[in-house]
Amino acid sequence: MIHLKNIVKKYGSHRAVDGITATFYKGRIYGLLGPNGSGKSTTLKMIAGLIHPTSGQISVNNKEVTRKIASDIAYLADGEMLYKNFTIKQMIEFFTSRFSDFQTEKAKELLSFMKLQPNQKIKSLSKGQRGRLKLVLTLSRKVPIVLLDEPFSGLDPMVRESIVKGLVSFVDFGEQTVIIATHEVDEIEPILEEAFIINNGQILNHCDVEVLREEQGLSVLQWLKSQSYQ
Ligand SMILES: Nc1ncnc2c1ncn2[C@@H]1O[C@H](COP(=O)(O)OP(=O)(O)OP(=O)(O)O)[C@@H](O)[C@H]1O
């Protein structure tokens, strides 16, 4: 379980995250949805222990978050996380040596699912292929928490849907808590169980996707559109 209590992150006088309180339960898939600059990446980086809140508390499985939390969390960064002079195989070897939980067999399956070849050089990959490799590396770790920051942004819209749906088979359901930060709601909607809307660094609303569908007859996208952003 991840618990955020009244989290504020300031850059100078700007409040990138402005008093977020939220709980993410074990084994569920969450969407952290919001427009550009709303505080999604900042929130994920704080959960991953990469940056510290200005105030408030974050705990992961009742442990206070420090840099050591990296051993419990697989984090797909919005920016670069690949070494351009490596081949895919070398990148996988690097992750294998860096993370004792890295599952090489799963990485092979994921590479094949993502149509990537181990001998390809990172610098020769397209943006979409690099995006696929980042997913391979992140989802091959056996960890309780997976944080994905804009994981589908470089992917061709034609294949995005099948990749999103296929990815579900690579998540350890009921065991891994997955948080996906994105402003592209449509494609990830089928795999979400809960969603938080974030805007101006604050949580605007939260829903259980199944309850939303059954009780209000709304898709996440319809629900999102009914909320007012400022
Ligand atoms: N290192 C930084 N220094 C100063 N301001 C920052 C820094 N990182 C983020 N911000 C600001 O904090 C706010 C939230 O940024 P953040 O990257 O968390 O948004 P986001 O929701 O992930 O956006 P996007 O969808 O564009 O990735 C923005 O106003 C951004 O300009």
Residue (of 191, 182, 111) closest to 153 by Cα position? 182
Q: Output the CA 101–ligand 1 centroid distance in Å.
A: 30
Residue 213 Cβ inside 6 Å of ligand 1? The answer reads no
Band (185; pLDDT cuts 50, 70, 90): confident
Question: Quick one: pLDDT band at residue 228, thresholds 50, 70, 90?
Answer: low
Q: What is the pLDDT of residues 9-43, one digit of tens each?
A: 999 999 999 999 999 999 999 999 999 999 999 99
User: Which ligand 1 atom is nearest residue 183's CA?
Assistant: 25
* Chain mean pLDDT for the chain: 91
The model's pTM is 0.94
**In this predicted structure, what is the pLDDT of residue 78?**
83
Strands laid side by side in the 202-208 sheet: 73-76, 145-149, 177-182, 29-33, 194-199, 202-208
Which atom of ligand 1 is the closest one to the Cα of 38?
Answer: 21
Q: Which helix (H) or strand (E) holds 193?
A: none
The pLDDT confidence band at residue 230, using thresholds 50, 70 and 90, is very low
Ligand 1 and 39: CB distance under 6 A = yes
Reference 72, options 134, 26, 106, 107; nearest CA is 26
Ligand 1 probe mutation, 7, 8, 41, 43, most atoms within 8 A of CB: 41
Q: What is the mean pLDDT of residues 192-200?
A: 95
